[in-house]
């Protein structure tokens, strides 16, 4: 996968994958993205190595939802976004086969014209367990008990709804807890703790 430098409309300097990286981004495992994020935060990997969107979680009466300030701003500028894949993964995990709580993705052979159809355009928020047109459900959605989770995925961005201008990963680490009233709450979590092995 080749990487090219790209100015960020918000003023941040980042690099993005080249436009042919969609298949690669869709095949990334949660652990790989978490290791990448931890490396960036700890200074082990250059901040110019990758560009990604950080999701913002919220617990509502209808359940867990995610939004993105960058995508929200892009929608106001009439940009179009298509969710290509999304996975919610539980941590810590002794058996990777049983830790995916929800996973959806688009067929890898989906062409650009089909991908960018208006029926596929993303609107926010992203709701846990939500059904999306032309997306395949690989796992779940399973109930989310209190604990730590990572959320990874990808979106493509189009300025005109015809061509793909960007292809970016989504990432977030969260913790779900019960408050004093017994209701579930969600908060940001330290991604580095997701790498700890249970004793």
Residue 146 lies in a domain: yes
* Count of structural domains within the chain: 1
Q: Which secondary-structure segment (H or E) carries 152?
A: strand 147-158
Residue 8 lies in a domain: no
Q: What is the pLDDT of residues 100-154, one digit of tens each?
A: 999 999 998 899 899 999 999 999 999 999 999 999 999 999 999 999 999 999 9
Residue 198 lies in a domain: no
Q: What is the pTM of this model?
A: 0.74
Task: Judge whether 148 and 193 are in contact, CB under 8 Å.
Answer: yes
**Distance in angstroms (rounded) separating the CA atoms of residues 150 and 10:** 25
Q: What is the pLDDT of residues 166-197, one digit of tens each?
A: 998 999 999 999 999 999 999 999 988 877 65
Per the structure, the complete domain to which residue 149 belongs is given by: 19-42+52-192
């Amino acid at each position: 996968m080749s990487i090219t430098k790209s100015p960020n409309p918000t003023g941040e300097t980042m690099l993005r994958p080249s436009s042919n990286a969609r298949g690669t981004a869709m095949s990334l495992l949660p652990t790989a993205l978490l290791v990448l994020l931890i490396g960036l935060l700890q200074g082990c990997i250059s901040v110019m190595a990758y560009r990604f969107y950080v999701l913002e979680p919220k617990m509502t009466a209808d359940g867990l939802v995610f939004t993105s300030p960058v995508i929200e701003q892009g929608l106001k500028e009439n940009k179009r976004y298509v969710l290509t894949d999304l996975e919610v993964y539980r941590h810590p995990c002794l058996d990777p086969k049983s830790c995916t709580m929800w996973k959806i993705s688009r067929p890898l052979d989906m062409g650009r014209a089909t991908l960018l159809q208006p029926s596929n355009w993303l609107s926010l928020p992203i709701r846990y367990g939500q059904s999306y047109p032309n997306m395949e459900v690989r796992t779940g959605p399973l109930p989310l008990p209190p604990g730590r989770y990572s959320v990874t995925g990808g979106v493509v961005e189009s300025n005109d709804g015809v061509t793909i201008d960007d292809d970016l990963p989504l990432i977030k680490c969260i913790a779900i807890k019960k408050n004093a009233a017994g209701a579930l709450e969600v908060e940001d979590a330290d991604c580095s703790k997701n790498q700890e092995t249970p004793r």
